[in-house]
C-alpha cells in the first residue's frame, strides 16, 4: 500500500522538546526541561513531566546573605564585647548555640526553596509549596481548565536575569494560579500554550486520558 | 525592699537557686528543643521527598540525620562541659 495512506506520526510537545537541547539537568536548577528522574506523589503512570520550576536563585539571596552575616557575627565579638558578662565556658556555649541556630536557619531555608516546585506535566500544572517545615500546600490545575496565561517581568533585576511571574486563569475551583519568580517566564508561557493546544487536539482526535 | 525583691531573695537564699544553675537549665532546655526540631526536620524531609523526588533525596536525608547527630553531640558535650 502506498505511503499516502499512512498518517503522519503524531508528535507531542514532550517529543518535540526532547529533541531540543536540554536545559538545567542538575539538582539545583530552577528550570528543568523534561527532568527524567523526577517523580511526584500524585503522578499518573503515563503522565510526563515537561517542566520542573523553582524560584530563581536571585530571590534566595536575602537568606543567603543573612546566613553569611550570621556566620561572621561571633567574630565581631572581639571588637564588641557583648558576652563578657559570661564566663569562658558560657561564652563558648553561647557561640555553639549561635552556630546551631545558623545551621538550622540555613537548612530550613534551603529545603523550603528546594521542595517548593512548580511541575508542568502534559496533563496539569502542580504547585508544591512548603511554607515552613510544618505546612504543606499542593494545588493543581488541569491544562484543559487553563483559560488564559500571562507573564509579568517588572524591574531591572528581573529583566537582566530573565525571571518573572506566570499567571494563569483557570476554569477550575481555584481561579488564579500563579507561578512566582521562575526563570524564562516567556518560555514557560509558550510551553503552556503548546500544551493547551495539544490537549485541544487530543480532545478532537479522541485521545483524552 | 519591695515584695518582688523579697520574693527573689527567698528564691535565691531559701531554695539556694543560683543564676548559673538557671542558665544551665536554660541551655539544656534549648538543646532538647533543638533535638526535637532536628527530628521534625528528618520527618519533614522524608515527607517532602515522598511528595517530590528525583535528585537529592539521599543527600538531604543524610544532612537531616547529621543535624540530629549534631544536636545529640552538643547536648552530651554540654552535660559534661557546663
Strands (DSSP E) found in chain B: 52-53
**For B14-43, how does the pLDDT look when each residue is reduced to its tens digit (9 = 90+)?**
666 677 788 889 999 999 999 999 999 999
Flag whether residue B19 sits within 8 Å of chain A, measured between CB atoms: no
Average predicted confidence (pLDDT) for chain A: 84
Give the CA count within 13 Å in the CB-facing half-sphere of B34.
Answer: 26
- pLDDT for residue A202 is more than 70: yes
Compute the average pLDDT of residues B3-15. 74
CATH code of the domain made up of A3-55+116-205: 2.30.29
Compute the average pLDDT of residues A95-107. 93
- Residue A111 to residue B52, Cβ atoms within 8 A: no
**Per-domain residue ranges of chain A:** 3-55+116-205, 62-110
Flag whether residue B79 sits within 8 Å of chain A, measured between CB atoms: no
Sequence-ordered alpha helix ranges (H) in A73-209 = 88-115, 156-161, 185-205
**For A117-163, how does the pLDDT look when each residue is reduced to its tens digit (9 = 90+)?**
999 998 889 988 887 767 888 888 888 888 888 999 888 999 999 99
- Residue B67 to residue A40, Cβ atoms within 8 A: no
Strands (DSSP E) found in chain A: 31-33, 39-40, 49-53, 117-121, 124-132, 135-142, 146-152, 163-170, 176-183
Contact residues, chain A, for B78 at CB < 8 Å: 93
Chain B nearest CA to A9, separation (Å): 31
- Where on the phi/psi map is residue A59: left (φ > 0), alpha (ψ -120 to 50), or beta? alpha
Interfacial B residues in 27-46 facing A (CB < 8 Å): 27, 30-31, 34, 37-38, 40-41, 44-45
Which residue of chain B is at minimal alpha-carbon distance from A88? B82
Helix (H/G/I), strand (E/B), else coil: A206: coil
Flag whether residue A90 sits within 8 Å of chain B, measured between CB atoms: yes
- Residue A111 to residue B50, Cβ atoms within 8 A: no
Amino acid at each position: 500500500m502506498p505511503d499516502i495512506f499512512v498518517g503522519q506520526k503524531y508528535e507531542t510537545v514532550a517529543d518535540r522538546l526532547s529533541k531540543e537541547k536540554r536545559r538545567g539537568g542538575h539538582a539545583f536548577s530552577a528550570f528543568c526541561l523534561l527532568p527524567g528522574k523526577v517523580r511526584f506523589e500524585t503522578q499518573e503512570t503515563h503522565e510526563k513531566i515537561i517542566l520542573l520550576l523553582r524560584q530563581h536563585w536571585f530571590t534566595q539571596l536575602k537568606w543567603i546573605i543573612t546566613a553569611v552575616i550570621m556566620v561572621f557575627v561571633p567574630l565581631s565579638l572581639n571588637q564588641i564585647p557583648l558576652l563578657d558578662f559570661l564566663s569562658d565556658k558560657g561564652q563558648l556555649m553561647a557561640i555553639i548555640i549561635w552556630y546551631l541556630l545558623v545551621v538550622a536557619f540555613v537548612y530550613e531555608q534551603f529545603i523550603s526553596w528546594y521542595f517548593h516546585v512548580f511541575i508542568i506535566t502534559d496533563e496539569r500544572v502542580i504547585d508544591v509549596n512548603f511554607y515552613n517545615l510544618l505546612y504543606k500546600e499542593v494545588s493543581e490545575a488541569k491544562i484543559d481548565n487553563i483559560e488564559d496565561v500571562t507573564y509579568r517581568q517588572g524591574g531591572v533585576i528581573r529583566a537582566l536575569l530573565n525571571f518573572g511571574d506566570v499567571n494563569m486563569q483557570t476554569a477550575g475551583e481555584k481561579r488564579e494560579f500563579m507561578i512566582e519568580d521562575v526563570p524564562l517566564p516567556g518560555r514557560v508561557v509558550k510551553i503552556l500554550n503548546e500544551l493547551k493546544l495539544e490537549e485541544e487536539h487530543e480532545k478532537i482526535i479522541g485521545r483524552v486520558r | 525592699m519591695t515584695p518582688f525583691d523579697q520574693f527573689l531573695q527567698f528564691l535565691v537564699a531559701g531554695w539556694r537557686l543560683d543564676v548559673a544553675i538557671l542558665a544551665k537549665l536554660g541551655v539544656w532546655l534549648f538543646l532538647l528543643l533543638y533535638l526535637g526540631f532536628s527530628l521534625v526536620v528528618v520527618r519533614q524531609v522524608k515527607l517532602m521527598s515522598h511528595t517530590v523526588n528525583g535528585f537529592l533525596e539521599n543527600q538531604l536525608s543524610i544532612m537531616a540525620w547529621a543535624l540530629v547527630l549534631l544536636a545529640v553531640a552538643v547536648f552530651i558535650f554540654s552535660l559534661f562541659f557546663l
